[in-house]
Amino acid sequence: MIAPLAAVDLARRVAADIPDGSYANLGIGLPTLVADVVGPDKEIVYHSENGILGMGPAPAPGTGDPELINAGKQPVTLLPGGAFFHHTDAFMMMRGGHIDVTVLGAFQVSERGDLANWITDVATMPPAVGGAMDLAVGAQRVLVMTTHVTREGRPKLLPRCSFPLTAAGVVDRVYTDLAVLDVTPEGFVVLEMAPGLTAVELQGLTAARLSFADELGVLPTG
């Protein structure tokens, strides 16, 4: 019986790899959970593409500023020390390599570090990219946080992406609900696995060929 990690445990594992003092941009969806579980021992400055550094949590209900929103268009707050700037500056931070780390969701990741996270079907829905390509190309370290397989059980870690790419060769590390994997010149290397999972089971849920670290860790839960 394979027991995937709960989303909050996965978020804690990602947060553990973000160093104190980082400037970070969290993608929409699952990655936003990371900010909720970073401990008080770390000071991390969150960036938003619409011109915010030092972004804080959602305001209390009934308060807040309708124009102070995050990339997902949800209301947020500004922490002491935070700053506002215009869009070109916000993207200069992203494209110019000033963001230390980004955590992004993914539809697919290839063993070469290609990322597909912006579109699956070009024919029926108008395409929309936002800042996904800028962030994937520009952040110093690109972490992907995702379920290991799709809702239908199809592998997301592949030899080559079949969906249109967001960026080629950019992903450094992938955190799934089953494993932590580094992208290396030799492909995916598994560093940690969910408790009780075997290497054979993990390979069975992964289309790309996996290598395993000599000292394989266990993903912490609870």
Partner 1 sequence: MIDKRVATLADAVAGIGDEATVLIGGFGDSGVPVELVHALLDQGARDLTVVTNNAGSGERDVAALIRERRVRKIVCSYPRSAGSIWFEELWRAGEIELELVPQGTLSERMRAAGAGLGGFFTPTGADTLLAEGKEVRVLGGRRQVFEEPLPGDVALVKAHRADRWGNLVYRTAARNFGPTMATAAALTVVQVEEFVELGELDPEAVVTPGIYVDRVVAVRAP
Q: Phi first, then psi: what are they for 149, rounded to 5°? A: -130, 165
| Residue 28 binds partner 1, judged by CB under 8 A | no
2: exposed, middle or buried (Cβ count in 10 Å: 0-12, 13-18, 19+): middle
Residue type, 85: F
What value, to the nearest 5°, has the Cα angle with vertex 180 and ends 173 and 4? 135
What value, to the nearest 5°, has the Cα angle with vertex 144 and ends 141 and 150? 165
Minimum Å gap between C-beta 129 and partner 1 is: 5
| Residue 67: active-site member | no
Number of shown-chain residues binding partner 1 (CB under 8 A): 38
Minimum Å gap between C-beta 120 and partner 1 is: 12
DSSP state of 100: -
Q: Which stretch binds partner 1 (CB under 8 A): 78-86, 175-183, 186-194, 198-206?
A: 78-86
Residue recorded with tokens 């249109």:
164
In the set 39, 41, 63, 73, which binds partner 1 (CB under 8 A)?
A: 73
In the set 48, 108, 117, 146, which binds partner 1 (CB under 8 A)?
A: 48
Rg (CA), the chain: 18
Cα gap 129→166, rounded to integer Å: 8
| Residue 94 binds partner 1, judged by CB under 8 A | yes
Write out the binding residues for partner 1, residues 100-159 only, by CB under 8 A. Answer: 122, 125-134, 137-138
Q: Among candidates 197, 101, 184, which has minimal Cα distance to 149? A: 197
| Residue 87 binds partner 1, judged by CB under 8 A | yes
Q: Which of the following is catalytic: 43, 49, 111, 201?
A: 49
Of 84 and 212, the one with the shorter C-beta distance to partner 1 is 84
Of 4 and 75, the one with the shorter C-beta distance to partner 1 is 75
Across 13-22, b (16+ Cβ under 10 Å) vs e yields bbbeebeeeb
User: Pattern 162-201, binding to partner 1, x per CB under 8 A?
Assistant: --xxxxx---------------------------------
Catalytic center residues: 49
Q: Which residues bind partner 1 (CB under 8 A)?
A: 48-52, 65-69, 73, 78, 84-88, 91, 94-95, 122, 125-134, 137-138, 164-168
